Chain A
Amino acid sequence: MVPLLELSKVTKHFGGLCAVNNFDLKLSKGELMGVIGPNGAGKTTIFNMISGVLNITTGNIYFKGQNITGQKPYMINRMGICRTFQLRTIFDDLTVLQNVMLGGYTKKGLGIGFLSSFLGTTKKKKELEQSALEKIEQVGLTNHKDEIAKNLPHGFQRAMALAIALVTEPEVLLLDEPVSGMTVKEIIWMMELINSLRADNQRGILLIEHNMRAVMDYCDKISVINFGAKIAEGLPIEIRQNEDVIAAYLGGKSHAA
């Protein structure tokens, strides 16, 4: 079976620095996969390459078997890959509902034919609003839908960022540290929510996270990178016992080697 998302020997150089080296990855439908590694290991760079923000030096990225290397970010999204960002990345001065609706203009044909969006296509807009409200409910923000986004507490803003991504109805969801800066209770709630997003087995989720418990408890498979190269991949239990991984995180002999 063709994997949903496949990275094949992806390499990224920033001048003389090799940020990501020969990285391979396969993500299937219904899978929740974690990407972990120390700070500066190249995790976000991988996301930036998949989502088209950064060009790839060498290697290829395939989405459902189709080569999507070098596509523009907005094209990547239209194909069905949506990402969230590491820091709070939202439309500050818009309301929650407007924020989430912005994610859906393309899907409803209001973004591509943006001419139609100001000539007024009321029916499509109603549909979009409906689907935005569903996603807002899904992330538990119904009571806050008319609030200005920047006034929301941090946890709610992260939940809203997820709703914005969901309204684009992605087949691949790339989540960049979705639980950073959250309380323990919020983390559990957020991870349960993320876990539920693959329930229909149609979506693959790739998750970058520093919170080990979140990753270990929920991911099916974990890929560990350090200095831009993959050092381990496997089930959470295998990763926990992998010596290279322990060395990378705690420092040890193999780290120096």
Chain B
Amino acid sequence: MLKNNIRKYSILIVILFITFTLPLGIKNPYIVHIFIMMYLNIVLAMGLTMIFKAGALSFGHAAYASIGAYTSVLLVTMLNIPFWIAFSLAGVVTALVALFIGGITLGVRGIYFTITTFAFTEVMKGIYNAYLYPFGGPGGIRGIPNPSGIETKEQFYYLALIFVLISFFIFYKMAHSKSSFGIICDGLKLNELLEQSLGINTKTVRIFVFIVGCTFAGFAGSIMAHYLRQINPETFAIHTSIDIIVFCAAGGFGSIIGAVIGATSLTMIGELLYGIGTYKSLVFGGMLILIVLFLPEGIVGFISRKRILK
């Protein structure tokens, strides 16, 4: 037990050390860029994992990231609101949309809920495309100013790093199999009727988890838009949602550590595949099929099963 803890904390300290000193050692801006995108992908994957843990598979995660992104970009460019306030408001707006949409759609279960999330993603894309004002139409919004104080890649790197660490702490706490909330979520997925009959308001739990997961997607979207300095309806479309699902599936659906591992490894692989352009989706799709067939519990499930057999 103690030995386990020591190992766990030493791994954590090594990871923290490497991630915090990385930009000092590596001056290659492309690699720093990959890491920034990786951190944001990790947050997106963790949010989706949390929602899945409470029994719902969402194809709309990218749509919530887009809501956060457009909200904060519009607040900054049109109203000249400082980045940090716009960033916070992006979270609030995403949470409210998640409350409204989740409140309606979480009433339907299983695959039917998933279909509604598909539809929502397409609706949002349609709205961004249709309205030149304020969303910029298909061309989106370009030339987004850098937030004051965060101008260089290194500064963005640390912003993304701190953001991913805070999110990880919150999601890990929520999903942990020893925390009450983690067990309530597991129980919700395993047997909702029984859990209701034990006095747990399962609908509130589902909506709460959905809001938390989506809000962090909104935050991530906001950071990503300000970092890339441009956003258009394709930045966070259905293919982004599918990428996030592939991250989660690769790591092991339902596990926060799995989300981190999946998003990390696949962001790297995705960047290696940069040369083949649009064929990336093809490779990711093929990978999803292979994972479902041969690694249904993802990397984390594979490792833990090996450990048990040993």
Chain A partners chain B: yes
Q: Are B205 and A114 neighbours in the complex by a CB distance under 8 Å?
A: yes
**Chain B residues near A101 (CB-CB < 8 A):** 180, 183
**Chain A residues near B186 (CB-CB < 8 A):** 91, 93-94, 98
**Chain A residues near B180 (CB-CB < 8 A):** 101, 105, 110, 114, 117-118, 125
**Chain B residues near A120 (CB-CB < 8 A):** 173, 179
Residues of B within 8 A of A (CB): 173-174, 179-184, 186-187, 190-191, 193-202, 204-205, 208
Minimal beta-carbon separation of B105 from chain A (angstroms): 20
Given contacts A90-B194, A114-B208, contact A106 B200 (CB under 8 A): yes
Q: Are A74 and B190 neighbours in the complex by a CB distance under 8 Å?
A: no
Q: Are A111 and B200 neighbours in the complex by a CB distance under 8 Å?
A: yes
| Chain B interface, >50% SS class | helix
Minimal beta-carbon separation of B190 from chain A (angstroms): 5
**Chain A residues near B183 (CB-CB < 8 A):** 94, 98, 101-102
**Chain B residues near A21 (CB-CB < 8 A):** none
Q: Are A91 and B198 neighbours in the complex by a CB distance under 8 Å?
A: no
Tally A residues with Cβ within 8 Å of B.
35
**Chain A residues near B184 (CB-CB < 8 A):** 102, 105, 111, 114, 117
* Contact with A105, one of B197, B200, B204 (Cβ below 8 angstroms): B200
25 contacts between A and B (CB under 8 A): A51-B197, A73-B197, A74-B197, A74-B199, A74-B202, A77-B196, A77-B197, A77-B198, A82-B197, A83-B197, A91-B190, A93-B186, A93-B190, A103-B198, A105-B200, A106-B198, A106-B199, A112-B201, A114-B204, A114-B205, A117-B179, A118-B180, A118-B181, A118-B182, A164-B198
Q: Are A168 and B199 neighbours in the complex by a CB distance under 8 Å?
A: yes
Question: Nearest 6 CB-CB pairs, A to B?
Answer: A106-B199, A117-B180, A77-B199, A118-B181, A73-B196, A91-B190
The answer to the question of A227 belonging to the interface, with a C-beta cut-off of 8 Å to chain B, is no
Q: Nearest CB to that of A128 among chain B residues?
A: B180
Bound Cα distance from A26 to B82, whole angstroms: 66
Q: Are B196 and A89 neighbours in the complex by a CB distance under 8 Å?
A: no
Minimal beta-carbon separation of A237 from chain B (angstroms): 34
Q: Nearest CB to that of B186 among chain A residues?
A: A94
**Chain B residues near A111 (CB-CB < 8 A):** 184, 198-201
Most buried by B among A73, A90, A120: A73
| Chain A interface, >50% SS class | loop
**Chain B residues near A74 (CB-CB < 8 A):** 196-202
Q: Are A53 and B193 neighbours in the complex by a CB distance under 8 Å?
A: yes
**Chain B residues near A72 (CB-CB < 8 A):** 196, 201
**Chain A residues near B201 (CB-CB < 8 A):** 72, 74, 111-112
The answer to the question of A78 belonging to the interface, with a C-beta cut-off of 8 Å to chain B, is yes
Q: Which of A89-145 contact B (CB under 8 A)?
A: 89-94, 98, 101-103, 105-107, 110-112, 114, 117-118, 120, 125
**Chain B residues near A51 (CB-CB < 8 A):** 197
**Chain B residues near A85 (CB-CB < 8 A):** 193-194, 197
Minimal beta-carbon separation of B259 from chain A (angstroms): 17
**Chain B residues near A125 (CB-CB < 8 A):** 180
Bound Cα distance from A76 to B198, whole angstroms: 9
**Chain B residues near A98 (CB-CB < 8 A):** 183, 186
Bound Cα distance from A80 to B187, whole angstroms: 21
Bound Cα distance from A168 to B198, whole angstroms: 7
**Chain A residues near B202 (CB-CB < 8 A):** 74
Bound Cα distance from A15 to B199, whole angstroms: 29
**Chain B residues near A117 (CB-CB < 8 A):** 179-181, 184
Q: Are A118 and B174 neighbours in the complex by a CB distance under 8 Å?
A: yes
Bound Cα distance from A73 to B204, whole angstroms: 13
Bound Cα distance from A51 to B191, whole angstroms: 16
Q: Nearest CB to that of B208 among chain A residues?
A: A114
Bound Cα distance from A107 to B199, whole angstroms: 8
Minimal beta-carbon separation of A102 from chain B (angstroms): 5
Q: Nearest CB to that of B176 among chain A residues?
A: A118
**Chain A residues near B205 (CB-CB < 8 A):** 114
**Chain B residues near A164 (CB-CB < 8 A):** 194, 198
Bound Cα distance from A118 to B190, whole angstroms: 20
**Chain A 158-171 near chain B by CB (<8 Å), digits 1 or 0:** 00000011001000
**Chain A residues near B187 (CB-CB < 8 A):** 91, 94, 102
Q: Nearest CB to that of A150 among chain B residues?
A: B190
Q: Nearest CB to that of A77 among chain B residues?
A: B199
**Chain B residues near A94 (CB-CB < 8 A):** 183, 186-187, 190
Q: Nearest CB to that of A80 among chain B residues?
A: B199
**Chain B residues near A118 (CB-CB < 8 A):** 173-174, 179-182
